[in-house]
């Protein structure tokens, strides 16, 4: 039996009173069109298998990016898409590279699929230095914006990394891209070694539905399909398929809620700075903050005692930082009120 | 990149006129309690991640089998449960054993996870001979009832296989067990090497929701959890979780629809026998039939031209058989009518 150290997701505490700012969920419900579509579908054919190829959803996503459905792969959350990508594109014996501070699932995938990896330290300001990722033996993966740092890497830097890894797949994990600047999906036609992974769990308010996707040239998408079809013919259920499709069709709702979160983020940033925090310039739906006069772990625990859950990573060099998801304006007011009471 | 030959599921043709008797789906919709629960849940917290441990559903399933939730693992369809089981319990270099005529996903899993396998020919009457599975090097897997043969193996034979493989995991894939006699789940407390895999896709009318599960002693369930948590923290969405839970709670509806399908199966068997077919004694929601005066492939094609889709496997020694899913009484009447027109 394989013994691996699994990924530990943010705490999922079942308390209705809890202010949950620890797993970067969207504070707003999905578009009303999503629930309407689910309601229609649930009376239709729940006893029949869903589409194994998810063509309609792929077309809708492709349209957003001026691509065709052959450029889109759908998976059960971006975690499954990432796992399948490790299986499809990274090889035992070929060392891949990712940052030392990043999504903590990457080393877990590496271990379970026997992929050797080296972690590259972030620069002192927590940014990614593109040169560090040139000529990677087995491939490259990192999130953009990176998590938990919240920092965005410009596309010029990503292009350099793509150019300097012509024979390796470079995976850009864009879970938070809709709260940031331009997606690397705009580079897909130019780079056959680029795979972009996105999710509906953050900006589309569908963490509860489990729909992630990858964008890339058709030869990469075919490789992912081959893995999926060797593991599970039908990974996305009927309700998730129609729900996710509607989430992409209601662009107005998406723009409104996303912009609202960005506005709230900027307000919270100003307030935290006024309280003496250093707030990294976030391009995500969370902020990553530190305060030289406050102990981060103590603050985390004191907030938790107040039923305010944020995320603290007890590892160097980020042990003095807190990651705080952006909720509604009202939730962030409650967070700031609680925080103020605990400042030393 | 890994090159594997993926599993090919039954054709999913999108035609409203089609009589689809080719993928063993349930002809009846799920319990009304299922849709009611989904309706409630979809207005609740779709923007929040689902439970990563699916505790409530595990408890409900455990109750049905007089087990505890530590004996239950939930996955995205039984295909995912089977894939994770291959990863957790079978090892590269240790040859596993399964029948030559069986669920065609097993060789696909074996190849993608580098598990060597040997296929054991069924006996002439298509039954499984327990002795053939004694002392398997790496483990054993087969469906009970077997597919596509529809034949059930008695628990005494399964116990012999368990006893003669004390250090290997024996996986009994019970997708169709609710249309058969006793489940091997009744043996779990006695055999620490037994994993039973079931699904909601057939008897619970939830193929469209993707919920499968495994039953076994806690050490086996923990191993599956470790694999899951190394690939995808949240594999079952919120709607599928509540829907599947209600499907298990509405025992009356389940019994009624299951018994109806069994009744229809027996009627269809009699009719097919009257038409000169040999019908294997099915313990599933399909029948596996042959007729020495008819060419199976020709019949399959002629039925298809009539918009009646059944399944034909163009491989020896079953190339003269058809697998026909049991639909409603009305659907089976339509099937028989179409079939009669094509008998040579």
> B262: Cβ–Cβ under 8 A, 6 or more apart, which residues?
B179
* C-alpha torsion B54→B60→B63→B64, nearest 10: -120
Q: What are phi and psi of B309, to 5 degrees?
A: -105, 115
Q: Are B206 and B314 in contact (CB under 8 A)?
A: no
Residue range A62-82: average pLDDT? 98
Q: Is A293 touching B (CB cutoff 8 A)? A: no
* Mean pLDDT of chain A, nearest integer: 95
Contact list in A for residue B108 (CB cut-off 8 A) is 230
Percent of chain B at pLDDT exceeding 90: 94
The pLDDT of residue A33: 98
CA distance A110 to chain B (A): 9
Q: Are B319 and B297 in contact (CB under 8 A)?
A: yes
Model confidence at B6: pLDDT above 80: no
Contact list in B for residue A51 (CB cut-off 8 A) is 12
Residue ranges of A 53-92 with Cβ closer than 8 A to chain B: 76-77, 79-80, 83, 87-89
Model confidence at A2: pLDDT above 60: no
User: Which band of pLDDT confidence, cut at 50, 70 and 90, is reported for residue B344?
Assistant: confident
Q: Which of B27, B38, B235 sits opposite A239 (nearest CB)?
A: B38
Model confidence at B1: pLDDT above 50: no
Model confidence at B18: pLDDT above 60: yes
> How far is A313 from A126, CA to CA, in rounded Å?
15
> How far is A286 from A278, CA to CA, in rounded Å?
14
Model confidence at B280: pLDDT above 60: yes
Residue range A157-177: average pLDDT? 98
The pLDDT of residue A344: 80
The pLDDT of residue A31: 97
CA distance B105 to chain A (A): 8
For chain B, the straight-line distance linking the first and the last C-alpha, in angstroms and rounded, comes to: 49
**Closest CA in chain B for residue A138:** B1
Q: Where are the alpha helices (DSSP H) in chain A?
A: 32-42, 55-64, 77-89, 105-112, 155-163, 218-229, 238-249, 251-274, 296-305, 329-341
User: Which band of pLDDT confidence, cut at 50, 70 and 90, is reported for residue A10?
Assistant: low
Residue range A263-273: average pLDDT? 98
Read off the tokens for B98.
């399964």
CA nearest neighbour of A77 among A9, A168, A1: A9
The pLDDT of residue A4: 55
Binary contact (B23, A226; C-beta < 8 A) = no
Say if pTM beats, i.e. exceeds, 0.90: yes
Model confidence at A260: pLDDT above 80: yes
> How far is A174 from A183, CA to CA, in rounded Å?
8
Q: CA dist B203 to A47, B50, B82, B261, B264, Å?
A: 9, 25, 18, 9, 14
Q: Which tens digit of pLDDT belongs to each residue from A293-307?
A: 999 999 999 999 999
Model confidence at B2: pLDDT above 60: no
Q: Are A283 and A180 in contact (CB under 8 A)?
A: yes
Residue range A77-84: average pLDDT? 98
CA nearest neighbour of A89 among A164, A192, A13: A192
**Closest CA in chain B for residue A91:** B1
User: Up-side HSE of residue A202: CA atoms within 13 Å toward CB?
Assistant: 28
Residue range B330-344: average pLDDT? 95
DSSP assignment string, B273-334:
HHTT-EE----SSEEEEE-TTS-HHHHHHHHHHTTEE-B---STTSTTEEEEE---HHHHHH
The pLDDT of residue A205: 98
Binary contact (A206, B47; C-beta < 8 A) = yes
CA distance A245 to chain B (A): 14
CA distance B25 to chain A (A): 6
Q: Is B236 touching A (CB cutoff 8 A)? A: yes
Interface test with B, best of A237, A258, A261, A331 (most B CBs within 10 A): A237
Q: CA dist B153 to A53, A193, A275, B150, B305, Å?
A: 35, 50, 70, 10, 36
Q: Which tens digit of pLDDT belongs to each residue from B79-137?
A: 999 999 999 999 999 999 999 999 999 999 999 999 999 999 999 999 999 999 999 99
* C-alpha torsion A65→A69→A75→A76, nearest 10: 80
Q: Which tens digit of pLDDT belongs to each residue from B147-181?
A: 999 999 999 999 999 999 999 999 999 999 999 99
Q: Is B175 touching A (CB cutoff 8 A)? A: no
Residue labelled with tokens 């995808």: B232
The pLDDT of residue B3: 45
Residue labelled with tokens 């109750």: B63
Interface test with A, best of B202, B237, B254 (most A CBs within 10 A): B237
Residue range B294-319: average pLDDT? 96
Q: Which tens digit of pLDDT belongs to each residue from B177-208?
A: 999 999 999 999 999 999 999 999 999 999 99
Model confidence at B10: pLDDT above 90: no
Q: Is B12 touching A (CB cutoff 8 A)? A: yes
Residue ranges of B 108-167 with Cβ closer than 8 A to chain A: 108-109, 111-112
CA distance A327 to chain B (A): 12
Q: Which tens digit of pLDDT belongs to each residue from B237-264?
A: 999 999 999 999 999 999 999 999 999 9
Residue range B285-309: average pLDDT? 97
Read off the tokens for A28.
């707003």
Interface test with A, best of B208, B217, B247 (most A CBs within 10 A): B208
Q: Is B230 touching A (CB cutoff 8 A)? A: yes
Q: What are phi and psi of B3, to 5 degrees?
A: -110, 110
The pLDDT of residue A97: 98
Q: Is the peptide bond before B38 cis (omega within 30 degrees of 0)?
A: no
Residue labelled with tokens 């990722």: A133
> B2: Cβ–Cβ under 8 A, 6 or more apart, which residues?
A87, A88, A223, A226, A227, B112
Contact list in A for residue B109 (CB cut-off 8 A) is 230-231
CA distance B239 to chain A (A): 7
Q: Which tens digit of pLDDT belongs to each residue from B29-87?
A: 999 999 999 999 999 999 999 999 999 999 999 999 999 999 999 999 999 999 999 99
Percent of chain A at pLDDT exceeding 90: 94
The pLDDT of residue B17: 83
CA distance B107 to chain A (A): 10
ipTM > 0.90 (yes/no): yes
Q: Which of B2, B34, B243 sits opposite A227 (nearest CB)?
A: B2
With residue A124 as reference, give the H or E element that holds it.
none
The pLDDT of residue B293: 95
């Amino acid at each position: 039996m394989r013994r691996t150290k699994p990924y530990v997701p943010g705490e999922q505490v079942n308390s209705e009173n809890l202010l949950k700012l620890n797993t970067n969920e969207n504070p707003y419900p999905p578009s009303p069109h999503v629930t309407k579509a689910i309601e229609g579908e649930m009376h239709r054919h729940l006893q029949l298998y869903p589409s194994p190829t998810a063509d309609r959803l792929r077309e809708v996503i492709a349209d957003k990016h001026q691509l065709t459905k052959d450029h889109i792969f759908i998976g059960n959350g971006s975690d499954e898409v990432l796992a399948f990508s490790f299986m499809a594109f990274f090889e035992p014996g070929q060392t891949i590279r990712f940052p030392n501070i990043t999504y903590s699932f990457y080393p877990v995938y590496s271990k379970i699929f026997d992929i050797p990896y080296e972690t590259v330290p972030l620069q002192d300001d927590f940014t990614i230095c593109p040169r560090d990722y040139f000529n990677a033996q087995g491939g490259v993966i990192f999130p953009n914006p990176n998590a938990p740092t919240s920092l965005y890497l410009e596309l010029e830097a990503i292009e350099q990394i793509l150019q300097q890894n012509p024979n390796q797949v470079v995976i850009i994990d864009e879970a938070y891209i809709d709260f940031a600047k331009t997606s690397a999906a705009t580079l897909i036609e130019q780079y056959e070694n680029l795979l972009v992974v996105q999710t509906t769990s953050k900006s589309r308010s569908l963490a509860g539905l489990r729909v992630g996707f990858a964008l890339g040239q058709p030869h990469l998408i075919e490789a992912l399909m081959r893995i999926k079809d060797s593991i599970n013919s039908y990974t996305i259920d009927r309700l998730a398929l129609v729900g996710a499709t509607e989430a992409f069709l209601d662009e107005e709702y998406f723009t409104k809620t996303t912009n609202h979160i960005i506005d709230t983020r900027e307000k919270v940033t100003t307030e935290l700075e006024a309280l003496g925090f250093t707030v990294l310039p976030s391009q995500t739906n969370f902020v990553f903050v530190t305060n030289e006069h406050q102990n981060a772990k103590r603050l985390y625990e004191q907030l938790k005692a107040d039923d305010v859950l944020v995320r603290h990573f007890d590892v160097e060099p980020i042990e003095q930082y807190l990651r705080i998801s952006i909720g509604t304006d009202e939730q962030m007011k409650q967070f700031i009120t609680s925080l103020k009471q605990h400042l030393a």
